[in-house]
A = this chain, B = another copy of it.
Amino acid sequence: MLRVRAWRSLSPVCRGVHLSAWKRTQSHTAAAARLDLGGIYPPIATPFTAKEDVDYQKLEGNLQKYAKIPFKGLVVQGSNGEYPYLTEEERVEVVKTVRRSLPTDKLLMAGSGCESTRATVQLTEKMAAAGADVVLVVTPCFYKGKMDGRALIQHFTKVADSSPVPVVLYSVPANTGLELPLDAVVQLSQHPNILGLKDSGGDISRIGLIVHKTKTQDFQVLAGSAGFLMAAYCVGAVGGVCALANVLGQELCELERLCVSGRWDEARVLQQRLIEPNAAVTRKLGVPALKQAMEWFGFHGGACRSPLQPLTEAEAQQLRRDFSSNGWL
């Protein structure tokens, strides 16, 4: 694995400038150093037709609405995109569809993680070819007893070595049943083609420590959920990939603005009103609730692919309460 500390410390970081056309012609080392991930990303949902086919028309409808919100970019096929339920062809086609609609000043971060290293390498290449600026690579998890630091470092290193675009690590224990170990994150942060980490576990001490131990690497940490977004900014994260941004995107960008500009008292008031709605569309009721709430807020949500079930009536009422009691409905 290359170590590019010296190189990086010399390299200018053009924060806020999106250079994907240029970047694709450069070596990934250069690309990795230049991309600024800071900001808010909705991990977009995948709409389906009544027959459970991908509904590209509704997807584009959502994209048009998201274009009006000051997101840093979109995550396509994070956990909320039901990617484990899509075929590889569908995964690539959805990315292509998003690429066509996405304004050029927004980042497209595409989930390309698979269980095996070889499948991840291949899908990463396809995602880059389909227009991804960055890939988001989840920890493999089926053989969780064997997915220790050694295995995960080797996996991510191989993927990053061959990826045409920069890689963001993705740790989401609620779904995978494992956390990317801190020591592995620190070692992987030295790879020139690994830009950062989306951490959905929410352990704020861990997030602070990752920022601390990777600070010489220009490594960027994204909060993986809106519930701890403000706290994550507080300890040094640069942004968030938040399911709730599919529903309350403008509000999350406002929270980002307050945090980045140091207006913590105002941020706290807004953050607190977002915790319960966020928990409802993630941990408590999951993707079906996210899609239901999207419908209430003017987006296309609709049903999930089976075996994810629609909300029961009682769940829908609970969901509504979690938004209305915080003044959002």
CA distance A136 to B159 in the complex (A): 32
Tell me, yes or no, whether A264 is within 8 Å of chain B by CB.
yes
Q: Which residues of B contact A176 (CB under 8 A)?
A: 142
Interface residue A16 (Cβ < 8 Å from any Cβ of B)? no
**Set of chain B residues within 8 Å of A79, measured between Cβ atoms:** 142-143
Residue of B nearest to A174 (CB): B145
Determine if B286 and A212 form an interchain contact, defined as CB atoms under 8 angstroms apart.
Answer: no
Cross-chain contact A306 with B155 (CB below 8 angstroms): yes
Q: Which single residue of chain B is at the shortest CB-CB distance from A285?
A: B146
Of the candidate stretches A4-12, A248-256, A268-276, the one touching chain B is: A268-276
Cβ of A281 to closest chain B Cβ, rounded Å: 12
**Copies per assembly:** 4
A158 interface residue (CB < 8 Å to B): yes
Given contacts A84-B142, A119-B87, contact A205 B205 (CB under 8 A): no
Determine the chain B residues whose CB is within 8 A of the CB of A236 once the complex forms. 268, 272
> Shortest Cβ distance from A211 into chain B, in angstroms?
7
A208 / chain B contacts, CB cutoff of 8 Å: 227-228, 230-231, 268, 271-272, 275
Q: Is A70 an interface residue (CB 8 A)?
A: no
User: Given the complex of chains A and B, what is the CA–CA distance between A52 and B278 in angstroms?
Assistant: 42
Q: How far is the CA of A268 from the CA of B231 in the complex (A)?
A: 11
A130 close to B (CB within 8 Å): no
Binding-face segment, A21-29, A110-118, A163-171, A293-301: A110-118
9 other A-B residue contacts (CB within 8 Å) besides A146-B309, A230-B234, A235-B272: A143-B287, A146-B286, A151-B307, A151-B308, A177-B177, A208-B275, A209-B275, A209-B279, A234-B264
